Amino acid sequence: MIIRKALFAAALLTTCAAPVAAQDVAPPVLAPATAQPERIVLNLTADTAHEMAITWRSAPGLAGLVQYARATPGPDFVQDPETQEAITDDATFAIEEDPAFSAAYHSAVLTGLEPDTVYAYRVGDGARWSEWFQFRTAAVDAKPFRFIYMGDMQNDVLSQASRTLRMAFRTAGDAAFTIHAGDLINRHNSDREWGEWFAAGGFLYSQTPQMPTPGNHEYGRDGAARAGSSVTSQWRRQFTLPENGPPSVPEALETHWYTDYQGLRLISIDSPQLDRNEVARAETIAWLDELLRDNPNRWTVLFLHFPLFSSDPDRDNPKVRSALKPLIDRYGVDLVLQGHDHGYARGAIGPDGPSPDDAGTTYVVSVAGPKMYEVADLVWARRTAERTQAYQVIDVDGVDLTYRAYDATGALLDSMHLHKP
């Protein structure tokens, strides 16, 4: 018996010691949309103090309803909730796995909400409901808050990128929202991969608004990525983002957008569209110029996928840089948060080149998923890291902004503080 146990233990140790490659993990099976509400996600609107957008999907042919109420310490809020009908897109369209995929995509924007208030809500079709979730609206005036910034999740999203996202919420569970700097998934029209992205965040997406900007992988790698093309059709079905981008660039609807949150202006730039479409580039520059010129907020954060300054000189984006940097310098944008290059780099750059943190705009490149590139020696970066999955937490507190980057284990990787009296 003792010999048997010893042999079993040796076999177990041998099995556990063997490395498991990402490709050894079975890919998730494409699951049809169910009658139960799924992939529930919050998005901020242009009016963060009085509105909240909710999006989810279900099996085709089902209605979409939202019930919501001001949250109470006990269960009394469930007695008399408001009910709002969602806009439903009962769609059949081609995805990578199925040329005739069907699902009902529901979206609702709750309006007339009280500022700085916790609301409870649930979604369903009147017979089948989700659990009750909660969110807080923004305050009307500047008030301390924090948000999470994630670079590309993109590859092995559920098996490996999820740990970075979930550790971010362990560090900053009270975050007001999360921004994603593009390449949320790898293949733009793969519903399996979108399913992984939603599974990675689970209920976190249903209680904390997620604010993405598209990367090149949301456009695909084939002819769909050409100038004038639109982001994957699943983008607008799965998210309900502000529709306040350049009005003459319909291809960038809900990809160029902005919102104001408690003293901060947050601007999403659709960098693949900016890089590949000359007409859209001119219109985007004019739109951004107006947003930065007429900005009542103390702090300004711009985020996009293609970096203006890369973590690898061989991966340069001159069209994006020439379009945006003059405006960034002219109006003193505080942070430019980026993805695409699968490494970590952070530094400040002013009109004349690299500068101290408080004398130029801070540029960051970061990656949340497991796909890694080399990071070069960079003149512009004050801190770099290679082969490091990371997340970032930004605290905004009146005249102070504190930036912290953490690796996927939760260890502090980098930090920086700005003071703007």
Percent of the chain at pLDDT > 90 equals: 84
User: What pLDDT is attached to residue 28?
Assistant: 56
User: How far apart are alpha carbons 190 and 233 in whole angstroms?
Assistant: 11
- Threshold 0.95, pTM exceeds: no
If 0-12 CB within 10 Å is exposed, 13-18 middle and 19+ buried, where does residue 172 land? buried
Q: Worst-scoring range by mean pLDDT, 51-55, 142-146, 224-228?
A: 224-228
Using CA atoms, how far apart are residues 164 and 261, in angstroms rounded to an integer? 25
Report the CATH number of the 145-419 domain.
3.60.21.10
What CA–CA distance (Å, rounded) separates 418 from 421?
A: 10
Q: What count of other Cβ atoms lies within 10 Å of the Cβ of residue 260? A: 17
- The mean per-residue pLDDT over the stretch 310-338 comes to 95
Give pLDDT, residue 13.
Answer: 40
Fold for the domain defined by 38-136: Immunoglobulin-like (2.60.40)
Judge whether 362 and 416 are in contact, CB under 8 Å. Answer: yes
Query: Can you tell me the mean pLDDT for 274-299?
Result: 94
Three-point CA angle 105, 111, 115, nearest 5°: 125
- pLDDT recorded at residue 3: 41
Element housing 291 (H / E): helix 278-293
Which of the four pLDDT bands, split at 50, 70 and 90, describes residue 401?
very high
Residue 255 has pLDDT above 50, yes or no: yes
pLDDT tens by residue, 412-421: 999 999 999 9
Measured N-to-C along each axis, helices 278-293 and 318-331 cross at an angle, to the nearest 10 degrees, of: 10
**pLDDT averaged over the chain?**
91
Q: What is the mean pLDDT of residues 301-307?
A: 98
The predicted pLDDT at position 102 comes to 95
279-291 residue pLDDT tens: 889 999 999 999 9
Q: What percent of the chain has pLDDT over 70?
A: 91
Q: Would you say residue 111 has pLDDT above 80?
A: yes
Selected residue with higher pLDDT from 231 and 226:
231
Confidence (pLDDT) at 29:
56
Where residue 221 falls among pLDDT bands split at 50, 70, 90?
A: low
Out of 106-120, 165-179, 205-219, 277-291, least confident range: 277-291
What distance in Å separates the CA atoms of residue 193 and residue 315, rounded to the nearest whole number? 26
- Does residue 222 register a pLDDT over 60? no
Q: What is the pLDDT of residues 1-56, one digit of tens each?
A: 444 444 334 443 433 444 444 445 555 557 789 999 999 999 999 999 999 999 99
33 and 125 in contact (C-beta within 8 Å)? Answer: no
Of 30 and 237, the one with more pLDDT: 237
CA–CA distances in Å: residue 14 to residues 7, 10, 25, 169, 277: 11, 6, 19, 35, 55
From residue 218, alpha-carbon distances to 63, 181, 392 in Å are 28, 11, 22
Q: Name residue 337's beta-bridge partners.
A: 303, 364
User: Can you give the pLDDT at residue 321?
Assistant: 96
Write down the pLDDT at residue 279. 83
Delimit the CATH 2.60.40.380 region(s) of the chain: 38-136
Taking Cα atoms as reference points, which of 214, 276, 291 lies closest to residue 246? 291
Strand partners, 304: none
Q: Model confidence over 182-218: pLDDT tens digits?
A: 999 999 999 999 999 999 999 999 999 999 999 999 9
Q: For CATH 3.60.21.10, list the domain ranges present in the chain.
A: 145-419
Give the pLDDT of residue 348.
97
